[in-house]
Amino acid sequence: MDIDGQYDPKLVGIIVSSFADSGPDTVFNNTELADDEAMILAIKGMTVIGLDNPLDAIEDINDDEERRSTIQQFGPFPIKDRATLKALAISFVVKAEDSTDHRIRTFGRFCVLFLIYNVEHTRLILDSYGLIEPYFNIISREINYDKDLHPNNLSNVYRKMNMLFQGVLPRVFTVIDKGVIKELIGKEIMHRDVFLIADKKKKILYSLLADPEMSVWRKHEINRAAANLNSHLYKKKLTSRTVTELEEIAALLKRYNLSVEGVS
């Protein structure tokens, strides 16, 4: 899904800093902040965040899953002398095989991505707060080494993060015990008896009921949960549609680029 030219970006831009062999460094800045302002934010942010991210937390830097498990988000933070702007931060680690610092070669290069936004968009940004860390984990799969921190990759991350905050990306949920709604993140998800797909662009909330022997009580529980989701998160702006045919369920999952165990 490409939103370029269709929606106003909610992010002012991003700043990416890394802990170079000589200390903190700004490697990317497409915001309105001057280079010295970006560096001040990078130094302050990396200092505070780094306290919760010891470099030796990763036992095997070549284990991509272990390395990615250290991704964390922080904030929002104020920005010095910029009352109309705030920043959210995402910390991550990349491999640095050419570093002259033994510890960095062994445990990786510590990096922080700052999402800069206008305070007027705070509500929209925070509505997606729980998605930021797992979403970044997905869209940054091509950033594994410090040499991958180049403008093309980081511009792409900026574009995709903006898509998240537009609220137009389809979101997938399930209903667990006692009607509690749980959001599902990623392209590959475990089989459930129900999937709720909220497509804000099409203004549809799909309820995919994958169990042909589902009880009437369970169906009522799911309907109540879907109605609450539509009311609280989408202000009742989505039209509800229930799908029970396996073939149609599979087609919808394919349309939304989702892979579910047991459904093809």
User: Looking at 102-116, 227-241, 248-262, which range is the least confident one?
Assistant: 248-262
pLDDT at 264 over 50: no
Mean pLDDT of 172-191: 80
Distance CA 175, CA 242 (A): 14
Task: Determine the average pLDDT of the residues in 77-99.
Answer: 92
Closest CA to 237 of 225, 248, 229: 229
pLDDT digits (tens, 9 = 90+) for 14-61: 999 998 888 889 999 999 999 999 999 999 888 888 755 555 567 788
Q: How many CB atoms lie within 10 A of CB 230?
A: 18
- Is residue 4 very low, low, confident or very high in pLDDT (cuts 50, 70, 90)? very low
User: Which pLDDT score, from 0 to 100, does residue 177 have?
Assistant: 85
Radius of gyration of the chain (CA): 21
The reported pLDDT for the residue numbered 47 is 84
H helical segments located in the chain: 35-50, 64-68, 102-107, 122-127, 129-139, 151-166, 216-234, 246-255
Ranking 3-12, 16-25, 123-132 by mean pLDDT, the lowest is: 3-12
- Mean pLDDT is lowest, of 128-132, 166-170, 240-244, for 166-170
Q: Is the confidence at residue 2, as pLDDT, over 80?
A: no
CA 193/CA 217 separation, integer angstroms: 13
Residue with tokens 């070549």: 62
Asked if 146 and 95 touch (Cβ cutoff 8 Å), the reply is yes
Per-residue pLDDT, 1: 37
Predicted pLDDT at 46: 85
Q: Write down the pTM of the prediction.
A: 0.70
Residue 85: per-residue pLDDT: 94
Output the pLDDT for position 54: 54
Q: What is the pLDDT of residue 52?
A: 57
Kindly report whether the peptide bond that precedes residue 78 is cis, defined as omega within 30 degrees of 0: no
